[in-house]
Structure 1
Amino acid sequence: MKENQHLVHHDATTKTRHGQPSTSPTSIVFNAQPFGGGPGATLTAVMPYLRSRLKSLGPIALHYVGSSLTMDFQKLTETKWDGIHNVDLYTNPEIGKRKLVSLLQHLKPQLVVTAMDELVAAAAQAAGIPVVIIDLLLWFWPSISPNWRQAELVIAAEFYGVQERIISENLNNVATVPPLGPPARTTQDPSADVLLNFGGMINPLMPKQEYIAYSHLIYSAARRAIELRNAALPESQHAKLIVLVASFDVAQGIDPKDPEAARMVLPDEALKLMASSELTFCTAGLGNLYAAGAVANAVLLLPPLHEGHAIQTHLIQKAGVPVDAIEWHELTGRAPIDYYRDSLQVMDNVSKAQSEVIDSPQAQTALVGRMLAAMLRSASAGVSAEDPPLRTLIKEFGQDNGDAMAVQIMDVLEKVR
């Protein structure tokens, strides 16, 4: 097949598909904000359902634009985009914006669909291209961006506070859908294994060394805790530690002595491991919370990396869900972090707390102790007739496989064509 020179120029990693018509198809550009794993995973879930529905509209090319871990995720999955373009609007915003505008001028998309990236939405709207925004955090933003109000449609995933936000902000261009996730199921006889699922931790506002240091700290504590767990229990109950990440950087940096310590897997395999494990340690990203609510057994939430993790946990607890979660002040002995301050200030306070734990054998012992206690509780609990506490999220908001978002995107596309 002849090489597509434009895709090469834009650092594309996927060439156009075999069998594509010689006439130029209608283009749709997709993008995911490179904050955590949820935005990229959302598009990966939605795209197959959208592709199926788009067949009725004739030839349409779906292009993915992104950077950082969102690119890692697209390369890992088996999702077949018609083009994948590496455009980074965060390392150098001006250069990234020029590159994006050039790409949009070339592709001439009829629609841009972004998972929460305000920079991409703004560039597309300035170019006169209709925009759909998928928002997993409508309840969260300190203020609603003008780009959200100018969008053709905002597709908001349900969570505590979403309906109230729509009403208070008088948003008339929002459609709500159930959060993405697998059908709820219970494993009757889980293994004794412990799953450490970091999910997507990466944030362009956070230096790489911060989240690698975080993963190494948590991983080291989990390894020590599982050694103590196995020493305290009969050999028949010994467990393995399974570590999952959503970033090549974290996979390579989590344990310099063991490059195989952590692995990246497709979402379906991560769900199987979560369902079959006796206990799951995970960050409190919404994707992790909904997945854990659907399939996990016992769960311990790791210390927050940013305000989103903490506030999501607080909202769940405020709703009466008894979730077990580690907070930094438990380890440092200092006053609790105020997670409702400016994002950069919160991350600075988290960084200070993390550094203190890394430098303090006493704090690390406290972290190991929290993990060990959760392991021993899950080992002694056995099979419970009651649903895990986080299952409340599924009962409250439901879950969707991606088709509900695909339907909303189709409705907009049919209007703007």
Structure 2
Amino acid sequence: MGENLDLTYRNGTDKDNHAMPTIEPINIVCNAQPFGGGPGATLMAVMPYLRNRLKSLGPVALHYVGSSLTMDFQKLTKADWDGSHHIDLYSNPDIGKKELISLLQRLKPRLVVTSMDELVAAAAQSAGIPVVIIDLLLWFWPSISPHWRQAEMVIAAEFYGVQERIISENMDNVVTVPPLGPPPRTTVGPSKDILLNFGGMVNPLMPKEEYIAYARLIYSAAKRALNLRNAALPKSQHANLIVLVASLDVARGIDPEDPEAARMVLPDEALELMASVELVCCTAGLGNLYAAGAVANAVLLLPPLHEGHAIQTLLVKKAGVPVDAVEWHEITGGTPINYYNGSLEIMDDVSKAQNEVISSVQAQKALADRLLAAMLHSAAPSAQGPPLRKLITTFGQDNGDAMAARIVDVLTKVR
């Protein structure tokens, strides 16, 4: 709905046609960390259920604060926020914090809800505003931020290691909910098409050129593999390549010669495509893992862009979930990356591996051959059930209402 800083609500007029007193709304500020697509997509799923649950509390205004990819999500989905505020705490943290504090002083929100953004949580807590943190990666953090411990509530999505982390860290302000995702379903006799789903690759610590180069590299290899696949199979089994992204930068940069090569779609359309194609090749973000677990017919996980992708894949494999995943050292022939090193060291190692593939015809061929093998495997009849479905049977799935209910619990307590 665009920015609207002076919202008021009126209940009508009295019998003498005099205006009733203006009722100021309860303001709630929502935010998503601009690392990948998961945090922003989570808020988009929770928001309509939150609105519905807040009706009983009187007039409430939901404001969104974010930057980068998370704002792209708002534009794409035409999100129904009462106020939308572009504030960037990452490119210039000092200026961003001042802008956020100024906004909070103006809105005087009763609650700040952030999807994993420590900088926003810190700013809100410094202003004395209660904070709820939605955390999709509680199992992952090398150490638990003090801002998590100071939060009114941490809502943690279930995954391998979450319960163990809560116990080991003695976190008494954490509640767990099933991960977000669609109801399990697959299409019988799916189309022969191949879906390349990059999801949200944007990361403020990673230069834009890096993730665009990644998308171009994988896209070029997938096109080469698709041509080889189609040449090896009867015409009745020929497939098309569908490419989905969650970033305008990637959509524009993936193929300079073809501006229509990739497209951004709404989450529901992405799920329909994932369910309908023969093979989904995707990055290993948790959102992609749970979506693929619910709807995909066959899956190939692409080389990791950061340690989150890699460690999530390792945990899934360790749990005995059958997943086909590509690693950089398979393509380069080099030493496997240690994804338990520091984040900056890992990103540097990934960048080096990626640049090695980009500069090597032999490595590019190896990547295309790896994609081809997955395509040919998915084209052959198989009695194996949908991959990654064990994620759903283990942790369940929620549409966003469980998180919304917990947020309202906190608001009821602090109002």
TM-score, normalization: structure 2? 0.96
Partner Cα distance (2:83, 2:364) in 1: 45
Partner Cα distance (2:130, 2:278) in 1: 46
The aligned residue for residue 398 of structure 2 is 400
The aligned residue for residue 132 of structure 1 is 132
Query: Offset of 1:19 from its aligned partner?
Result: 9.4
The aligned residue for residue 265 of structure 2 is 265
Cα deviation per residue 1:294-314 (whole Å; 9 max; x = unaligned)? 000110000000000000000
Query: Offset of 1:372 from its aligned partner?
Result: 0.5
Partner Cα distance (2:406, 2:8) in 1: 28
The aligned residue for residue 157 of structure 1 is 157
Query: Offset of 1:322 from its aligned partner?
Result: 1.6
- Contact 2:8 2:25 (8 Å CA) reproduced: no
Partner Cα distance (2:331, 2:26) in 1: 54
The aligned residue for residue 209 of structure 1 is 209
The aligned residue for residue 64 of structure 2 is 64
Query: Offset of 1:79 from its aligned partner?
Result: 2.4
The aligned residue for residue 308 of structure 2 is 308
Cα deviation per residue 1:26-59 (whole Å; 9 max; x = unaligned)? 1000000000000000000000001001000010
Q: Which amino acid aligns with 2:375?
A: M
The aligned residue for residue 13 of structure 2 is none
Partner Cα distance (1:154, 1:138) in 2: 9
Cα deviation per residue 1:264-292 (whole Å; 9 max; x = unaligned)? 00000000000000000000000000000
- Contact 1:17 1:82 (8 Å CA) reproduced: no
Cα deviation per residue 1:132-161 (whole Å; 9 max; x = unaligned)? 000000000000000000000000000000
Query: Offset of 1:189 from its aligned partner?
Result: 1.3
- Contact 1:278 1:298 (8 Å CA) reproduced: yes
Mapping for residues 111-190 of structure 1, pairs under 5 Å = 111-190=111-190
The aligned residue for residue 344 of structure 1 is 344
The aligned residue for residue 413 of structure 2 is 415
Q: What's the secondary structure of 1:27's corresponding residue?
A: strand
Cα deviation per residue 1:83-110 (whole Å; 9 max; x = unaligned)? 1100000000000000000000011000
Query: Offset of 1:380 from its aligned partner?
Result: 1.1
Partner Cα distance (2:126, 2:277) in 1: 48
Query: Offset of 1:387 from its aligned partner?
Result: 2.4
The aligned residue for residue 100 of structure 2 is 100
Query: Offset of 1:18 from its aligned partner?
Result: 10
| CA root-mean-square deviation | 1.4
Partner Cα distance (2:27, 2:322) in 1: 46
Q: Which amino acid aligns with 2:396?
A: G
The aligned residue for residue 19 of structure 2 is none
Q: 1:109 to 1:218 in 2, by over 3 A?
A: same
Q: What's the secondary structure of 1:381's corresponding residue?
A: coil
Do structure 1's residue 256 and structure 2's residue 256 form an aligned pair? yes
Q: Which amino acid aligns with 2:350?
A: V
Which 4+ residue blocks in structure 1 deviate beyond 2 angstroms? 12-24
The aligned residue for residue 81 of structure 1 is 81
Query: Offset of 1:213 from its aligned partner?
Result: 0.2
Cα deviation per residue 1:328-352 (whole Å; 9 max; x = unaligned)? 0001110100000000000000000
Q: What's the secondary structure of 1:88's corresponding residue?
A: coil
- Contact 1:67 1:88 (8 Å CA) reproduced: yes
Partner Cα distance (2:79, 2:7) in 1: 15
- Contact 1:46 1:406 (8 Å CA) reproduced: yes
Partner Cα distance (1:408, 1:116) in 2: 16
- Contact 2:282 2:302 (8 Å CA) reproduced: yes
Query: Offset of 1:14 from its aligned partner?
Result: 4.5
Q: Which amino acid aligns with 1:231?
A: A
Partner Cα distance (1:233, 1:301) in 2: 23
- Contact 2:8 2:24 (8 Å CA) reproduced: no
Mapping for residues 19-30 of structure 1, pairs under 5 Å = 20-21=9-10, 23-30=23-30
Mapping for residues 290-369 of structure 1, pairs under 5 Å = 290-369=290-369
- Contact 2:216 2:254 (8 Å CA) reproduced: yes
- Contact 1:186 1:295 (8 Å CA) reproduced: yes
- Contact 1:201 1:211 (8 Å CA) reproduced: yes
- Contact 2:8 2:23 (8 Å CA) reproduced: no
Cα deviation per residue 1:384-412 (whole Å; 9 max; x = unaligned)? 3x422300000000000000000000000
Query: Offset of 1:16 from its aligned partner?
Result: 7.4
Q: What's the secondary structure of 1:404's corresponding residue?
A: helix
The aligned residue for residue 5 of structure 1 is none
Partner Cα distance (1:56, 1:153) in 2: 21
Partner Cα distance (2:100, 2:5) in 1: 19
Partner Cα distance (2:171, 2:24) in 1: 36
Q: 1:391 aligns with which of 385, 389, 393?
A: 389
Q: Which amino acid aligns with 2:402?
A: A
Cα deviation per residue 1:105-126 (whole Å; 9 max; x = unaligned)? 0110000000000000000000
- Contact 1:31 1:115 (8 Å CA) reproduced: yes
Partner Cα distance (1:356, 1:23) in 2: 61
Do structure 1's residue 44 and structure 2's residue 38 form an aligned pair? no
For structure 2, list consecutive stretches of 5 or more residues without a partner in the other structure.
Answer: 11-21
Partner Cα distance (2:50, 2:394) in 1: 26
Q: 1:16 to 1:276 in 2, by over 3 A?
A: farther
Partner Cα distance (2:366, 2:74) in 1: 37
Query: Offset of 1:68 from its aligned partner?
Result: 0.3
The aligned residue for residue 275 of structure 1 is 275
Q: What's the secondary structure of 2:380's corresponding residue?
A: helix
The sequence identity of aligned pairs, in percent, is 77
